[in-house]
Chains A and B, each alone.
Chain A
């Protein structure tokens, strides 16, 4: 499974900053937002752990517990 990451949320935050700044011609803020997006993507690209493994028996236990609930 792909590991959870906040990169999408942070990129969206900077994208809002950039979009707002472009609409109102605040060029320094647009630049700051673009740099923020780039740095977030850079940090994401250099992450070391990309994936997590969910063991099969954990899934089996989860499945059994849920099926038991449905049966009751």
Chain B
């Protein structure tokens, strides 16, 4: 994330032309802005699914509710994995900034393994719920639950595929400008997923058990 706000201290302010004369912004800025627009549209989608979930929490149709289904321990481990993977993703950004291949691969590997561990735990949770007859077709509450958590899980899956592709690009193309910009976008994506999970964890798992 820190490479997104790199400021050149050498540039003196009086030497800078006014905004209208400076010409188009640097490509990294334009790409970053475009990716933020995508992320915000993604967050709008999540907000809609969150609203649906919040409205349907008690529509259990006589089926099991969140209190009976959620395993706090498994969710705590999932959260730990995802937060730690965000940290290693930050380390990867630093390694890319200092052009260190080995550290980049290592941080990417840690990020991938933690992300994959998160997914395995989530899929096992889903499989366990479906096995006891609490699948998405059981009640409106469960439909909303599987949509919301499943949508986040799909994003994590896509992120893992993207990470593998990016490491292949680093290996084949090296740290060229295009690859660096994509890695910046990946880092933004991964941190955004983490933020969504923090909301999800709070709204679904914590509030679901309290009420």
Contact = CB atoms under 8 A, between A and B. Distances in A.
Interface of A: 38, 42, 45-46, 50
| Shortest 8 CB-CB contacts between residues of A and residues of B | A50-B178, A45-B165, A42-B165, A45-B169, A46-B169, A46-B172, A45-B182, A46-B173
Contacts, number: 9
Contacts of A42: 165
Interface of B: 161, 165, 169, 172-173, 178, 182
6 contacts: A38-B161, A45-B165, A45-B169, A45-B182, A46-B169, A50-B178
A33 B62 CA distance: 40
B96 to A, nearest CB: 17
Which of A38, A45, A46, A50 has the most chain B CB atoms closer than 10 A to its own CB?
Answer: A45
Contacts of B165: 42, 45
Given A45-B169, A46-B169, A46-B172, 6 more contacts: A38-B161, A42-B165, A45-B165, A45-B182, A46-B173, A50-B178
A45 B166 CA distance: 9
Contacts of B172: 46
Nearest to A48: B173
Contacts of B178: 50
A45 B169 CA distance: 9
A50 B182 CA distance: 14
A46 B165 CA distance: 10
Contacts of A50: 178
